[in-house]
Amino acid sequence: MTATDRRAFRILFVGLVCVGMGQSVLFSTLPPAARELGLTPFRISTIFAVSATLWVFVSPWWGRRSDVVGRRPIILLGLLGYALSMVLVATTITLGRAGLLPLAWVYPCLVGSRSVFALLGSGTGPASQAYVADRTTYTERTAGIALLSAAMGLGETIGPGMGSLLAVFGLAATLYFAAALAVASAGLLWRLLPEASPPYTAMPATSPSLRLLDARLLPFLGVAAALQAVRATTTITLAFFFQDTLGLDAETTVRDAGIGFVVLAAAGLLSQLVIVQRLRPSVRAMLYVGVPLMMLAFAILVAGRSLSTYLGALAALGVGLGLVRPGTSAGASLSVGVGEQGAVAGVMSGLAVLGNVFGPMLATTLYQVDHRAPYVLCLAIMTGALVIVATSRRVRGLRG
């Protein structure tokens, strides 16, 4: 890896941190704002579900386009599309609260605004991963992709604090600020991110054909979808779980759940920025260690009865997520050729989102039956992932 490539990765890291910050701010801002405007929890959830569904189909297409037109144009378009989506969401909230937008229009406008992110913003992730794949060797690939995951994780960790600071200026202020950060990041990448360097000069003139369920990718898709499902389930139910199982009031719940999310995020960053970057484990090692560690974490959440036990489980879960997430992406990348890197990144980004759609819906239903049932479901899902990892010849055959 050249010095120019290392600088490019740092620039790309900053851009993805901005996206992660905006995403976490949106998840904490949109639900209460939409509820204030009269939307039911179900309608609020469908705002994200519609976007996630579109993402499944559009992200692979953007990945393939980046194999043809280049990585940087797709990365920039995705960042600007993301910024546009945030501005539209913020403007809808502002006009709705001011009574300038009829309430009957608020819901479809929010759905459409968030869908812009899926239609345009879904290109940034796969194009960024393909950019790293283009400029890393086989042995460097895993650490490079882990750096991208860490960027999103760092942004998601910083985001809530930024949102709290800007909340005094109104609910929409944080969303406008996140959009401004994305535009500034796009400008930085446009000026400083190199594109006209090998292996780009040898890129094919047409988009390569990569089937959505290519046999080379199936084990990594399965594990990635499982990871997304349990991650989304944990994010949605954790605060309720703390409150109901520990008997907490609302203020204590906010405090303890916040500590839990910080532990989860910090452990994930430790895993990706220290363990992966310093030790450079193979994809096999990351999956063989990370999946059982996540299973252990959910078993502790099911059996635990104290805050300290729960925090220990979340630390284990964060480390496991920090290994498995880049492990699946790197494994898929290493399984295909140079000319398919954008396509494979898009497929992984798109189909893995299905876990975000179906996992939380089932988990929140189970939570009404038993507060620990969602984590029993997560344990079962990760057990299935372990079976995939343990029996896959593709995983065993990877050299890196």
pLDDT at 74: 92
pLDDT at 52: 80
The residues near 361 (Cβ < 8 Å, ≥ 6 apart) are: 45
Banded model confidence at residue 203, pLDDT cuts 50, 70, 90: very low
Q: Which two tokens stand for residue 103?
A: 């309430």
| Residues 29, 253: Cα–Cα separation, whole Å | 18
Banded model confidence at residue 329, pLDDT cuts 50, 70, 90: confident
Residue 200 has pLDDT above 50, yes or no: no
| Residues 222, 327: Cα–Cα separation, whole Å | 13
Q: Which two tokens stand for residue 373?
A: 């049932």
Q: Which two tokens stand for residue 18?
A: 């901005």
Q: How many Cα atoms within 13 Å fall on the side-chain side of residue 246? A: 24
Average pLDDT over residues 166-183: 82
CATH topology of 3-194 equal to that of 218-397?
A: yes
Q: What is the pLDDT of residues 307-323, one digit of tens each?
A: 999 999 999 999 999 99
Confirm if 219 and 395 have CB atoms less than 8 A apart.
Answer: yes
pLDDT at 259: 83
User: What DSSP designation does 275 have?
Assistant: I
- Measured in whole angstroms, the distance separating CA 336 from the mean position of its chain's CA atoms is 22
Give the domain ranges of the chain: 3-194, 218-397
Q: Which of 176, 148, 17 is nearest to 71 (CA)?
A: 148
Whole-angstrom CA distances from 144 to 74, 351, 383, 400 are: 19, 22, 28, 13
The residue ranking higher by pLDDT, 194 or 244, is 244
pLDDT at 164: 64
Indicate the average pLDDT of the chain: 83
Taking the model in full, what pTM does it have?
0.75
Domain 218-397 class in CATH? mainly alpha
Angle at the Cα of 334 from the Cα atoms of 331 and 339, rounded to 5 degrees: 135
Choose from 3-7, 77-81, 276-280, 336-340 the range with maximum mean pLDDT.
77-81
Considering the domain 3-194 in this protein, what is its CATH number?
A: 1.20.1250.20
| Residues 187, 185: Cα–Cα separation, whole Å | 5
Q: What is the pLDDT of residues 231-255, one digit of tens each?
A: 888 877 887 788 889 998 867 876 7
| Residues 201, 197: Cα–Cα separation, whole Å | 7
Residue 42 has pLDDT above 80, yes or no: no
Burial 353-378 (b: 16+ CB within 10 A, else e): bbbbbebbeebbebbeeebbbbbbbb
Q: Which two tokens stand for residue 286?
A: 């990351």
Average pLDDT over residues 65-79: 89
pLDDT at 119: 93
